[in-house]
Amino acid sequence: EVQLVESGGGLVQPGGSLRLSCVTSGFTFSNYWMTWVRQAPGKGLQWVANIKRDGSEEYYVDSVKGRFTISRDNAKNSLYLQMDSLRAEDTAVYYCARDADARCDYWGQGTLVTVSS
């Protein structure tokens, strides 16, 4: 059974940092691109970033470029999102998703990040 479990969310002050993790199981992690998507309270879905199977390519939405870093550890079947210089508008539920040939077919349950003083 494919499983993705996010962790690392919480309350952080503006300007602070958080590192999200997504531990996966049930599939060969190194064979897939992986993606982070977020949903702000009462808002729609926003694609945040994705990373190639071997970590050699990364892409970001403009609003997080230079502040967020996506990474992965294929030996640990894990995906990460390092979030620095956090802003109130980064408050959201963050989902990790498996990227299977141009579609996100499996998703985690999400982890809530709240940026507030």
Of the listed pieces 10-18, 24-32, 72-80, 102-110, which binds other proteins according to CB under 8 A? 102-110
CA–CA distance, 113 with 1 (Å, rounded to integer): 27
Residue 60 binds to other proteins (criterion: CB under 8 A): yes
Helix (H) or strand (E) holding 18: strand 18-25
Shortest CA distance to 37 belongs to which of 107, 89, 115, 102?
A: 107
> Between residues 27 and 59, which has the closer beta carbon with respect to other proteins?
59
Distance between first and last Cα of the chain: 40
> Between residues 88 and 100, which has the closer beta carbon with respect to other proteins?
100
Give the footprint of other proteins on residues 4-33 (CB under 8 A).
Answer: none
Residue 85, Cα to own-chain centre: how many angstroms? 16
Residue 94 binds to other proteins (criterion: CB under 8 A): no
Q: Which residues bind other proteins (CB under 8 A)?
A: 35, 37, 39, 44-47, 50, 59-62, 95, 97, 102-105, 107-110
